[in-house]
Amino acid sequence: MFKNEYGSKLLADAVESLASLPGIGRRSALRLALHLLGEPAPNVEKFASSIVDFRNKIHFCPKCNMISDDGSCVFCDDERRDSGTVCVVESYADVLSIENTGQYRGLYHVLGGILSPIDGIGPGDLTIKELSERVAAGGINEVVLALSTSMEGETTSFYIARQLAPYGVKLTAIARGVGFGDDLEYTDSMTLGRSIVNRQPFKS
Amino acid sequence: MFKNEYGSKLLADAVESLASLPGIGRRSALRLALHLLGEPAPNVEKFASSIVDFRNKIHFCPKCNMISDDGSCVFCDDERRDSGTVCVVESYADVLSIENTGQYRGLYHVLGGILSPIDGIGPGDLTIKELSERVAAGGINEVVLALSTSMEGETTSFYIARQLAPYGVKLTAIARGVGFGDDLEYTDSMTLGRSIVNRQPFKS
């Protein structure tokens, strides 16, 4: 009797859209759709337009690939940042995380992903060539690799290191170790092992 | 230096919209927004329009308040359903859950919420008056109350029972008890207690 499992094509389409988001299953999507049904129409239209506007109106910095509202880059165009240091990250979210620490004053380079043969992502899909060109253009003393420690992240770091080798730029990677507040007992042995090998002078 | 914590008003607006959904925090909202940024523009437009269409084009059955694509009701307009039985539920999602069981062939009445003084939801905000009118119009033999067992749900059930009392209609409530596959050990004592009081003849 039901045309579909939701009894409504409009509802089924809305559920399908919401369930296409990562981490949202069909049950949650149904709950979200019915929640939006209870909201005033202008709110729902604003909800939808803010997402479409973000997707369609956002700019990308031609230098570092960071998102930008108007084409100017909050990092590259800021003279107070240290333009001699470039931190290589996978995504925009990583930039926000690093900025939140307040510990970094250099520029960024957003790869837009990491090398993943299984997902068909090769060097041409990332901004690695653009990074090489930035370094080749001069003025950069240090490139900080801040990619994940997954197999794909390590592969990407090694690939970038090889691409940048001809330019003799200083290459560093963010420190790995036992997190602040973490129990040694529950730290994986890879992390704990590295944190012992890379032990630092104790500052008291 | 950041105009806001996301460095972009477009991103901040999208995150705010997504974070307005129940159960989605700001971190998840950021992840969802950046996921949508990686999707083709037509997909994101379809995502947004399916939600706005659902909100703006959906109809409600004037009789039972169930959602409908075109004004006709998959329940009320279906002659194969038992129009003498009406099951009272809080929301559309509850209708879908009951339909999924395949055990119910009657009609529904969607209240659109439950009485909740703390949230300012009174009888006038629900379709209780419409339910009384349906019952007063005749042809209904049984009203099945399928509301939650929360304080608000029980209050709503009692309120409805009082409203329907003058019509002498048969009032029932869905059975409460220990769920199939549930361990007695982990069943709350209220549920277990009721399931003992309401014990049924054993069918072998």
Of residues B56 and A203, more confidently modeled: B56
Vertex A129: Cα angle to A123 and A131 (nearest 5): 115
Select the residue of B47, B52, B96 nearest A44 (Cβ to Cβ).
B52
DSSP A6: T
At B134, list the tokens.
């349906």
Of residues A8 and A42, more confidently modeled: A42
Tokens 């083709």 — which residue? B40
Tokens 């890879």 — which residue? A190
- Which three-class secondary structure state does DSSP give residue A82? strand
pTM for this model (two decimals):
0.77
Chain A: give the shortest CA distance to residue B196, in Å: 32
Amino acid identity for residue A32 in this structure: L
Residues of A in contact with B39 (CB under 8 A): 55
Q: Do A66 and B34 touch (CB under 8 A)?
A: no
Q: Do B33 and A49 touch (CB under 8 A)?
A: no
Segment (H or E) for B173: strand B170-173
Give the separation between CA B3 and CA B10, rounded to whole angstroms.
Answer: 11
Residue B160, CA atoms < 13 Å, CB-side half-sphere: 35
Query: Residue B69 pLDDT > 60, yes or no?
Result: yes
Q: Do A53 and B7 touch (CB under 8 A)?
A: no
Q: Do B21 and A32 touch (CB under 8 A)?
A: yes
Query: Residue B24 pLDDT > 80, yes or no?
Result: yes
Decide the pairing of beta strands A59-60 and A67-68: antiparallel
Asked if A32 and A19 count as a contact pair (C-beta separation under 8 A), the reply is no
Of A119, A117, A189, which is closest to residue A155 (Cα–Cα)? A117
Of B150, B69, B165, which is closest to residue B116 (Cα–Cα)? B150
For testing contact with chain B, the best of A3, A36, A51, A82 (most B CBs within 10 A): A51
Structural domains in chain B, sorted by start: 9-57 (1.10.8.420), 67-173 (3.40.1360.10)
Residues A83-135 pLDDT 10s: 999 999 999 989 988 888 888 999 999 999 999 999 999 999 999 999 999 99
